[in-house]
Structure 1
Amino acid sequence: MRKLTFIAAAVSIALLGGCQQMTEQKSTQTVQVQPVQSEIDKANAFFEDTFNRDVMSSPIYQTYMGIKKDYDKWDDGSEEKALKDLQQTKDDLVALNAINRDLLDENTKVSYDLKKQDLENSIADFKWRYHNYPVNQMFGVHSMIPAFMINQHQVSDLSDAKAYISRLNGVTTVIDQLIKDLETRADKGIIAPKFVFPHVIDSSKNIIVGAPFEKGEDSTLLADFKRKVDALEIDQAEKDSLISDAEAALKSAIKPSYSKLINYLAQLEKRADDRDGAWKFPDGEAFYNNALARTTTTDLTAKEIHTIGLAEVSRIHDEMREIKDKVGFKGDLKAFMQFMKTDKQFYYPNTAEGKQRYLDEATAMIDNMKTRLDELFIVKPKADLKVKAVEAFREKAAGKAFYQQPAPDGSRPGIYYANLYDMEAMPTYQMEALAYHEGMPGHHMQIAISQELEGVPKFRKFGGYTAYIEGWGLYSELVPKEMGLYEDPYSDFGRLAMELWRACRLVVDTGIHEMKWTRQQGIDYYVNNTPNATSDGVKMVERHVVMPSQATAYKVGMLKILELREAAKVKLGDKFDIREFHDVVLKNGAVPLNVLETFVDQWVASKSAA
């Protein structure tokens, strides 16, 4: 399946060239030449047309955008479509190069540079299109299908319900294309490590458990369909007919397709080994270096990132020792971490009541932050934010917490998902930092505002750069501390524990993919240096393995935002306004870190001159 830019962080570096004002000299007067409006119009039309074309070529993309034109279809995941998309990208680059950049205004030049670099990177990275695992424990087609149908395919009328059924029937082709993709990778020597297979096979089996596949409670998809159809204002006979058609599709398409995938994965597992790093791929070193450049939007090497990580781990350990002494704990940091990891006061019971209490308190923290946003921001998002537990069918393999962006038209709120499968992996002292990172003032603040920006091309509103997006999320864990929150020292320890986790990611990601660490070496590093549950360490290392470079984005991005903020404070002194700084960071949408630095420098210069 295609990686979609609206949900996967875009992997591009945009180089923003310096722009000099065009002037004419007449006698002693300097007259500024105005930008040629037609060229600006041409550029903006190009951005709009190519974005809309890409949306309309992807039924999945359409649904995320709230468009129902191809509501009954899936994306084409064939190699033929990938080659066609590559040619389209090359044609787009030719068309963009035909636009005279010198005749654009400053905002359009930014869009031009970002788009050009994105196109160039897409073309350059096409050779790496098989250097990934399309089925893994973090994400994949197998889990995307039910998650997408449950969370994205809304049923507002009869036609929507029929489209749902059509999509169930269309899964046969989707799974066939997936298996072909997996086999192509296997022929190239790209097979996920052995640990991946039990996760994905188990998740796939969960989809075909329950009615109508067997007696018992409704399966995940049937329960979802029934719930949505029951809410329609149509007569019962129509509802019964729809449900009958859905059951038929589940039995004739979903069951055989997932059974075929499960059988294929069982055979592929026999060909897998325990090598974990990207170094095992064809040209693995070059692939990983390219992945780091795309993820961080910097030129930092793997060794430099590893060294930064080690230094940050040491600094955070020192700050943790200060909290340990503040609460009067007798013992060293390792003993304090063990206390935080095991003491029952920090964990809610693994019951429905315990999980609901967690959701209620996380919601209260976000609601409190909503009342204080004026202290930090000039512009605030219109879209609402909800807190929700990860669904049962995917909670075992899903990450600790994550964010799902709202629909652009406001029909669906942003969602902060908390994974409550293992309550021992969700200590209460980390609740506050998680809520701020995934919700407010973190991902929801940044992503919802980006979607709501005016005067910015859609490809910038809905695209993304991982270091910027996740750097903002991690930065947003620190900002509440500066506002006087994290009043409980244990909660402040939780904030540091979350930051420590991201610092360890720099060490372990580069360790696995550059230095050939084993999975167990990575797990041991997390267990020995953090207060997190061992299960957290296992999940995180397994995430490193299937998503090379991605986890380095958080800390690299946060450090850059802090660096820019502190430099601005020094230069502006009393003129520095945190609300204005945040406005500069957010008002252009997600951008590469070097471009963000340009924006901040320009803001500082204009404030200094005022």
Structure 2
Amino acid sequence: MKPAARILLASVALLTPFGATVVHAQATETAQTAATESQRLAALFAADDEASLTRNPLNALFRGDMRYADRFGDMITDAYFDNERSAAQANLEGLKTIDRDRLNATDKIAYDVFKQVQTDALKGLSKDIMDLTVVRPLNHFFGYHTFYPTFASGQGAAPFKTVEDYDNNLKRHKEFILLMDRSIDRFRQGMASGVFETKMTISNVVDQLNTQLAQKTEESPYYGPVLMFPESFNDADKARLTSEYGGIIVIGLYPANARLRDFLHDSYLPLAREQVGLSAMKGGEALYQYLIEQTTTLPLKADDIHNLGLSEVARISSGMEAIKKEVGFKGTLGAFFEHLRNDPKLKPTSRASLTQGYYDIGKKVDAAISTQFKYLPKAPLEIKPYEEFREKYEAGGSYQQGTPDGSRPGTFYFNAYDLPSRTTPGMTTLYLHEGAPGHHFQISIAQENEKLPAFMRFGGNTAYVEGWALYSETLGYEMGLFKDPYQRFGTLSDEMLRAMRLVVDTGIHSKGWTREQAIEYMLANSDMGKTDATAEVERYIAIPSQALAYKIGALTIMRLKDRAKKELGSEFDVREFHNQVLNTGALPLTVLEKKIDDWIAASK
């Protein structure tokens, strides 16, 4: 502090000693009130989280919380939905008792996010929406029938370190069997009301169940834990568990899958709808608008998204043309796509070589990542292919989160199914998206931040989560990973995929596009192989609007980054920008924009 300032303050103190005391007392009272409001807000969050874990025991297990590990949950019963609805209503009432104006900046963000999460939950639990969703409890891309085998295999999130872990898994099996039978009841409810899944998605589910049922007991993922007993187990425990694990597969799990398969094939499939878009389903138009707003966290319309997609496809096509000229290819862009699909030099030679390729990319990213980030996740990242029993219907890659304490690593899965149809130029960008710094950084950094309330550590919305992952792909340029023109073309191809999603998803669900029309559009505008394009389109059919989130979220983050660069000039620090985006978890895009604007103003 300068001498002149010290004299000025001394003069003020002499003139107004009593006033200074009053101001100090008021400031202290304000701080105490703020602390009280923050404490009450934290207590509301904590109470909600604890109650939610009892209703959703698998969420606790994914965090490494074993208190409810012997339960699977009753996720599709009326009682479950009633409890979820009552909880959201009570939480909103609780928020009304807290003075938001007296909260600090971070708690205001938490308040706003929590309010939006609870409000959105109530919308999804309204009768109008549930009549269209609950009666379609699973399809080939979304369902416990494909999630649970990996989860319970010894290679998923469920731990198998103690005899109690093994016994808990057997108890979860029984509840899973019950859920499969309840799924049949929900499908029947939809049949009675005239709300159906598509023939395509249900045919795929039947194929998935047939694949699982064709496996011998000892080859089933459910038998996996028996093949990895810890050395500390005694012979009696091993013998008992081996018998019980084999027995429940034969008399419990497989019959449940067979009941579901037979019902879907014999009773449901003949009545399922031919048209793949929601616009052809009873109530589908209103449901799609609801899903768009939920997925993007913005009040967007299908037509506007469709037109944005067409614009982005045109822009990215120009970039592809430039790279085609750079590598000296003389034909059309369509011919170049065919070249990329069929050139043996651009195809993996084996599952092992594909795996090693991703290992090598991971090392390059690790060497450059500190140029972009101040804080790195504590949790390690594991790289592995999908298991063969599920790879046919999986995307090109995905991420499974680890535990907050890092005891179970995050996992980047890549798809090695039908190797001749796969190409190598997109490998770097896929790793950046699904692995580091994409989903692994975003999810791990949030859940490792114990200062955040649980719903911000472990929750999220698709636009932020997938928007961040797509934005992460662009960091390959700044980290020097796209010097090779084919890898650069690969990242344009992946960006093109997300742009085409805006066109195709809205085309299918609001404009009556057929499955074949959507596949042809994707093949015409990218170098995707037909296997990948088909899997993508069938994914959009199965989970409407989810694919819109990537581009909408990424464009928002990039727009905010450009704004920060312009406003802060030489003071802009990309590492701090990324910290601001990530350090409060997955925010609705409107809340994220307000946060970044406040950060820019404070940084000035």
Give TM-score, length-normalised by structure 1: 0.91
Aligned partner of 1:17 in structure 2 is none
- 1:42 pairs, out of 40, 43, 47, with 40
SS of residue paired to 2:199? coil
Question: Structure 1 pair 126/580, CA: closer, same or farther in 2 (3 Å)?
Answer: same
Aligned partner of 1:326 in structure 2 is 326
Q: How far does residue 527 in structure 1 lie from its aligned partner after superposition?
A: 1.1
Any idea what the Cα deviations from partners look like across 1:388-424, whole Å, max 9, x if unmatched? Answer: 1111111111111100111123221000000111223
Residue 367 of structure 2 is aligned to residue 371 of structure 1: yes
Task: Give the unaligned 5+ runs of structure 1.
Answer: 1-25
**Could you tell me which amino acid in structure 2 is paired with residue 50 of structure 1?**
D
Residue 158 of structure 2 is aligned to residue 167 of structure 1: no
Residue 123 of structure 2 is aligned to residue 124 of structure 1: yes
Aligned partner of 2:216 in structure 1 is 211
Q: How far does residue 165 in structure 1 lie from its aligned partner after superposition?
A: 2.0
Q: How far does residue 298 in structure 1 lie from its aligned partner after superposition?
A: 1.7
SS of residue paired to 2:194? coil
**Could you tell me which amino acid in structure 1 is paired with residue 340 of structure 2?**
M
Moved more, 75-84 or 574-583: 75-84
**Could you tell me which amino acid in structure 1 is paired with residue 141 of structure 2?**
M
**Could you tell me which amino acid in structure 2 is paired with residue 508 of structure 1?**
V
Q: How far does residue 130 in structure 1 lie from its aligned partner after superposition?
A: 4.4
Aligned partner of 1:73 in structure 2 is 71
- 2:472 pairs, out of 452, 457, 476, with 476
* CA distance, structure 2, for counterparts of residue 289 and residue 180 of structure 1: 27
Q: How far does residue 172 in structure 1 lie from its aligned partner after superposition?
A: 2.6
Q: How far does residue 576 in structure 1 lie from its aligned partner after superposition?
A: 1.1
* CA distance, structure 2, for counterparts of residue 335 and residue 434 of structure 1: 24
Q: Percent identity?
A: 34
Any idea what the Cα deviations from partners look like across 1:136-176, whole Å, max 9, x if unmatched? Answer: 12120211221221212211111111122222333331211
**Could you tell me which amino acid in structure 1 is paired with residue 544 of structure 2?**
P
- 1:52 pairs, out of 50, 63, 82, with 50
Residue 593 of structure 2 is aligned to residue 597 of structure 1: yes
8 Å CA contact 2:40–2:98 kept in 1: the answer is yes
- Superposition map of 1:565-580 within 5 A: 565-580=561-576
Aligned partner of 2:377 in structure 1 is 381
Q: How far does residue 264 in structure 1 lie from its aligned partner after superposition?
A: 0.7
**Could you tell me which amino acid in structure 2 is paired with residue 246 of structure 1?**
Y
Question: Structure 1 pair 406/574, CA: closer, same or farther in 2 (3 Å)?
Answer: same
Q: How far does residue 513 in structure 1 lie from its aligned partner after superposition?
A: 1.1
Residue 201 of structure 2 is aligned to residue 196 of structure 1: yes
* CA distance, structure 1, for counterparts of residue 299 and residue 170 of structure 2: 48
Aligned partner of 2:163 in structure 1 is 158
* CA distance, structure 1, for counterparts of residue 241 and residue 231 of structure 2: 11
> What is the CA RMSD across the aligned residues, in angstroms?
1.8
Any idea what the Cα deviations from partners look like across 1:78-114, whole Å, max 9, x if unmatched? Answer: 1222123212221222122222223222211211111
Q: How far does residue 225 in structure 1 lie from its aligned partner after superposition?
A: 2.1
Residue 339 of structure 2 is aligned to residue 343 of structure 1: no
Residue 404 of structure 2 is aligned to residue 408 of structure 1: yes
- Superposition map of 1:482-561 within 5 A: 482-561=478-557
Q: How far does residue 29 in structure 1 lie from its aligned partner after superposition?
A: 7.8
Any idea what the Cα deviations from partners look like across 1:407-456, whole Å, max 9, x if unmatched? Answer: 12322100000011122343111111101111111110111001111321
* CA distance, structure 2, for counterparts of residue 210 and residue 535 of structure 1: 24
Q: How far does residue 277 in structure 1 lie from its aligned partner after superposition?
A: 1.3
Q: How far does residue 300 in structure 1 lie from its aligned partner after superposition?
A: 2.2
* CA distance, structure 2, for counterparts of residue 238 and residue 36 of structure 1: 55
Aligned partner of 2:184 in structure 1 is 179
Aligned partner of 1:294 in structure 2 is 294
SS of residue paired to 2:516? helix
* CA distance, structure 2, for counterparts of residue 121 and residue 282 of structure 1: 22
Q: How far does residue 345 in structure 1 lie from its aligned partner after superposition?
A: 0.9
* CA distance, structure 2, for counterparts of residue 125 and residue 237 of structure 1: 49
Aligned partner of 2:221 in structure 1 is 220
* CA distance, structure 2, for counterparts of residue 369 and residue 137 of structure 1: 33
- RCO higher in 1 or 2 (8 Å CA, sep ≥ 6)? 1
8 Å CA contact 1:157–1:232 kept in 2: the answer is no
8 Å CA contact 2:132–2:195 kept in 1: the answer is yes
Q: How far does residue 61 in structure 1 lie from its aligned partner after superposition?
A: 1.6
Residue 139 of structure 2 is aligned to residue 146 of structure 1: no
* CA distance, structure 2, for counterparts of residue 300 and residue 478 of structure 1: 25
* CA distance, structure 2, for counterparts of residue 518 and residue 392 of structure 1: 29
**Could you tell me which amino acid in structure 1 is paired with residue 357 of structure 2?**
E
* CA distance, structure 2, for counterparts of residue 297 and residue 210 of structure 1: 42
Moved more, 96-105 or 192-201: 96-105
* CA distance, structure 2, for counterparts of residue 85 and residue 145 of structure 1: 22
Q: How far does residue 278 in structure 1 lie from its aligned partner after superposition?
A: 1.4
Aligned residues: 573
Residue 469 of structure 2 is aligned to residue 464 of structure 1: no
Aligned partner of 2:240 in structure 1 is 241
Q: How far does residue 333 in structure 1 lie from its aligned partner after superposition?
A: 0.8
Residue 298 of structure 2 is aligned to residue 283 of structure 1: no
Task: Give the unaligned 5+ runs of structure 2.
Answer: 1-18
Residue 437 of structure 2 is aligned to residue 435 of structure 1: no
**Could you tell me which amino acid in structure 1 is paired with residue 226 of structure 2?**
K
SS of residue paired to 1:168? helix
Give TM-score, length-normalised by structure 2: 0.92
Q: How far does residue 255 in structure 1 lie from its aligned partner after superposition?
A: 2.0
8 Å CA contact 2:226–2:245 kept in 1: the answer is no
* CA distance, structure 2, for counterparts of residue 337 and residue 605 of structure 1: 46
* CA distance, structure 2, for counterparts of residue 56 and residue 232 of structure 1: 32
* CA distance, structure 2, for counterparts of residue 601 and residue 272 of structure 1: 48
Moved more, 309-318 or 180-189: 180-189
- 1:360 pairs, out of 340, 353, 356, with 356
* CA distance, structure 1, for counterparts of residue 285 and residue 215 of structure 2: 45
SS of residue paired to 2:398? strand
SS of residue paired to 2:70? coil
* CA distance, structure 1, for counterparts of residue 131 and residue 415 of structure 2: 30
Any idea what the Cα deviations from partners look like across 1:229-264, whole Å, max 9, x if unmatched? Answer: 2x2412223212210111111122112211111111
* CA distance, structure 1, for counterparts of residue 546 and residue 309 of structure 2: 15
* CA distance, structure 2, for counterparts of residue 454 and residue 66 of structure 1: 14
Q: How far does residue 48 in structure 1 lie from its aligned partner after superposition?
A: 1.1
Question: Structure 1 pair 355/145, CA: closer, same or farther in 2 (3 Å)?
Answer: same
- Which has the larger Rg? 2
8 Å CA contact 2:476–2:482 kept in 1: the answer is yes
SS of residue paired to 1:409? coil
Residue 582 of structure 2 is aligned to residue 586 of structure 1: yes
Aligned partner of 1:10 in structure 2 is none
